[in-house]
């Protein structure tokens, strides 16, 4: 049975969703470093913050999934040389971030950040180009 080790632990709701994916997958949600060190020995996959100490203990590790888009904290020499596959969350939030940026562009272009403060103070004064459509 393939084994996925998660460290640090994720919340119960996310864990339940993962456990429902495939009953043949053994999922260990490590609550502390000692448990992670014990469980990584025979883990096939890892999700979370992998350290050099955890990697040195791993004997079957084939896949490491970073919970972030950035991989800077994973680029330690032992992992670079390790044959396991390293993946990240790059692109997962692209649409959401793009929508957020466009919302902020519109907010600042129309001075909404100023009007919101004025509204809270009960003031209604035009800002910038009053003739803007």
Q: Which domain holds residue 57?
A: 3-87
**Which residues are registered as beta bridge partners of 131?**
none
pLDDT at 75: 87
Residues 76, 15: one domain?
Answer: yes
Contacts of 24 (CB under 8 A, 6+ apart): 1, 2
Looking at residue 53, its pLDDT comes to 97
What is the pLDDT, as a whole number, of residue 131? 54
**Gap between the Cα atoms of 40 and 56, Å rounded:** 9
Residue recorded with tokens 């049975």? 1
3-class DSSP assignment, residue 35: helix
Residues 39 and 82 in one domain: yes
Distance CA 60, CA 45 (A): 8
Q: pLDDT at position 91, please? A: 85
Residues 6+ apart with CB under 8 A from 2: 24, 25, 26, 44, 45
The CA distance from 37 to 80, in Å, is 20
* Tens place of pLDDT per residue across the chain (133 aa): 999 999 999 999 999 999 999 999 999 999 999 999 999 999 999 999 999 999 999 999 999 999 998 888 888 999 999 999 999 998 888 898 999 999 999 999 999 999 999 999 999 999 876 555 4
State the total domains in the chain: 2
Q: Are residues 74 and 102 in the same domain?
A: no
Q: What is the pLDDT at residue 50?
A: 95
What is the C-alpha to C-alpha distance for residues 51 and 57, in angstroms, rounded to an integer?
10
Q: Which helix (H) or strand (E) holds 4?
A: strand 3-7
Residue whose structure tokens are 């004025």: 118
| CATH number of 65's domain | 3.40.50.720
C-alpha distances in Å from residue 8, one per residue of 55, 85, 119, 126 = 15, 20, 44, 51
Question: What is the DSSP code (8-state) at residue 48?
Answer: E
What is the reported pLDDT for 70?
A: 86
Instruction: Tell me: do 40 and 56 sit in the same domain.
Output: yes
């Amino acid at each position: 049975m393939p084994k996925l080790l998660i460290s640090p632990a994720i919340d119960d709701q996310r864990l339940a969703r993962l456990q429902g994916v495939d009953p043949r997958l053994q999922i260990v949600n490590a609550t502390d470093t000692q448990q992670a060190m014990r469980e990584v020995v025979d883990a096939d996959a890892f999700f979370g913050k992998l350290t050099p100490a955890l990697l040195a203990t791993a004997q079957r590790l084939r896949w490491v999934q970073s919970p972030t888009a950035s991989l800077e904290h994973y680029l330690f020499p032992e992992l670079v040389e390790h044959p396991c596959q390293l993946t990240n969350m790059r692109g997962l939030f692209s649409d959401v971030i793009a929508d957020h940026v466009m919302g902020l562009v519109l907010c600042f272009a129309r001075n909404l950040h100023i009007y919101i403060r004025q509204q809270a103070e009960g003031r209604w004064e035009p800002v910038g180009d009053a003739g803007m459509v």
